[in-house]
Structure 1
């Protein structure tokens, strides 16, 4: 029976477990608690500046060196409070916290770890651009469950391929919950009358080819040669080496970029560059690259650092940053090939060049 019709997220998860008896009921319950946090945030975000006591002005600086807004702090608290009590978690880690969050002693410990970015794209919320929440579920080390010890950062340093489930919520014109439990990708839309996430698209597939790419061109002067080559070929359009015209997109909201690509294809690049040689990229491996990469791979797309599959990278720190390219498989593989090929003997023309009015 195809997974279509007005199925709630609960029914979808029950059906998945029936088809895969080895699946854990605890995992289903944890996902439902995560979705409950997303429902709460969908309501809060939808009120915008009407939300009581909320300001879009900046506040403290978080571990990422970014100015937190009150909504960032509130979103983090919602995720913590909605998930700490259920007995399914050994601990949590958030983009907004320097160290892992412990499960209070009054609550039982569980066999999973929850990693999340509670409000991705919050810098755009004051202009009413779609934002979202990203999450990843990992298995906790056995001793966390059996000995009751507190989690440490090293417990979370697992490659993306080890994820049990991952997904995101997007708070746009409609609130949607996108999920993979390692068996394809499904999209659920929040029905405000039911108060439930309802299945609206099953077995999402990212088209292998595309004519859309997303990149922040203001960083062009810092790009590595393979990225410059790729973008210049796209911009050359039909007369160029690609033989077709491309459209360029940039929303500056990771969730919104990923959602567009899941729905209609495309490729997203936030690559490693030379702007800060000490950083291997800008996006967070655990909170952004791994969960989005998991979804893309489950939908037939590809996610890469530009040099290797992102899901194969073993994290070295809780807040590690990394370069990321994801989306339509054939485009991502092309970018990987460009990184492997030796540099061209003559550098191509710069992306944005000053030209004389006169031809000589």
Structure 2
């Protein structure tokens, strides 16, 4: 195999950009987490890790054993790296302050330890999503305000997708790169460099079950994608799987707020800090764009740690029609 390993690639990056030393080290640590979680997900059908713990998280969602395993792994491992002063997890109600353990840390990290875990017992792709910012020196490390900032301020964003292969996709703000885990050697190898969303919007991804609960504007946009440009309806229902396909093939992913109770109140679902911001960062780096319907999501500042948002992301030309 002639493709460089992640380590080789990052060392080359470091030689060209010495100022990215911290980013290179953090990315190496995140890759280790991906390898460990990959091993756990590969056992999903043989153990009880996909079973419910009979508890709910701060989001009000059923917690699986694998949720707990992935969250604890991320939390414990990241604390030991020394890079992070604080972390925020979709599974944790408040910020985890790690400044006592890591007094010299200059970064904070937000993550969804295992997005889409409800799909894993039917062997659908799931993923770890991560977002890293520079720590604000004027604020205590554990202050929630550390994480309430524009997505454009991210220094690293990415995801690790656990599917037929384990794939690491990330950006330092200078392009999007994909690495695939070779299970035989235990190494990530470069599989795509400088990913660019194709000009043609081949797919659209939306849960059309809720069509009657979307706004007229949302349904008009779906009709435009389906009828006017004749994009194919491709919706897995696993955020990372849908986003990854559209990054590679071209497409628009939509998760609108919906009024399922038909009371005129439209409620979004996706988490701003843990899902929408890092995904939007990657999409923009690949030439696309993202919106909540009103504003570019990289320019939107969340008001709370677990704030939810609508997300329309993918091909720029099509989203400008929304």
Shift of 1:263: 1.2
Relative to the length of structure 2, the TM-score reads 0.94
The counterpart of 1:176, out of the listed 147, 163, 167, is 167
* Closer, same or farther: CA 234–105 of 1 in aligned 2, 3 Å: closer
Question: Which residue does the alignment assign to 1:75?
Answer: 70
What is the rounded CA distance, in whole Å, between the counterparts of 2:6 and 2:160 in structure 1? 13
Are the counterparts in 2 of residues 59 and 70 from structure 1 also a CA contact under 8 Å? no
Question: Which residue does the alignment assign to 2:43?
Answer: 47
The alignment's C-alpha RMSD in Å is: 1.8
The counterpart of 1:105, out of the listed 100, 103, 109, is 100
Shift of 1:293: 0.4
Relative to structure 2, which stretch is displaced further, 100-109 or 285-294?
100-109
Question: Which residue does the alignment assign to 1:207?
Answer: 198
What is the rounded CA distance, in whole Å, between the counterparts of 1:67 and 1:329 in structure 2? 35
What is the rounded CA distance, in whole Å, between the counterparts of 1:159 and 1:105 in structure 2? 26
The counterpart of 1:306, out of the listed 290, 293, 297, is 293
Structure 2: runs of 5 or more not aligned: none
Shift of 1:281: 1.7
Shift of 1:172: 0.5
The counterpart of 1:282, out of the listed 269, 272, 276, is 269
Question: Which residue does the alignment assign to 1:342?
Answer: none
What is the rounded CA distance, in whole Å, between the counterparts of 1:126 and 1:217 in structure 2? 23
How many residues are paired up?
A: 320
More strand by share: 2
Question: Which residue does the alignment assign to 1:352?
Answer: none
Are the counterparts in 2 of residues 184 and 299 from structure 1 also a CA contact under 8 Å? yes
What is the rounded CA distance, in whole Å, between the counterparts of 1:302 and 1:208 in structure 2? 13
Q: Tell me whether 1:116 sits opposite 2:103 in the alignment.
A: no
What is the rounded CA distance, in whole Å, between the counterparts of 1:153 and 1:295 in structure 2? 24
Question: Which residue does the alignment assign to 1:156?
Answer: 147
Q: Tell me whether 1:30 sits opposite 2:30 in the alignment.
A: no
Secondary structure of the residue that 1:48 maps to in structure 2?
coil
What is the rounded CA distance, in whole Å, between the counterparts of 1:206 and 1:317 in structure 2? 31
Are the counterparts in 2 of residues 84 and 107 from structure 1 also a CA contact under 8 Å? yes
What is the rounded CA distance, in whole Å, between the counterparts of 2:58 and 2:297 in structure 1? 23
Question: Which residue does the alignment assign to 2:87?
Answer: 92
Question: Which residue does the alignment assign to 1:262?
Answer: 247
Relative to the length of structure 1, the TM-score reads 0.84
Question: Which residue does the alignment assign to 1:193?
Answer: 184
What is the rounded CA distance, in whole Å, between the counterparts of 1:106 and 1:203 in structure 2? 36
Are the counterparts in 2 of residues 210 and 267 from structure 1 also a CA contact under 8 Å? yes
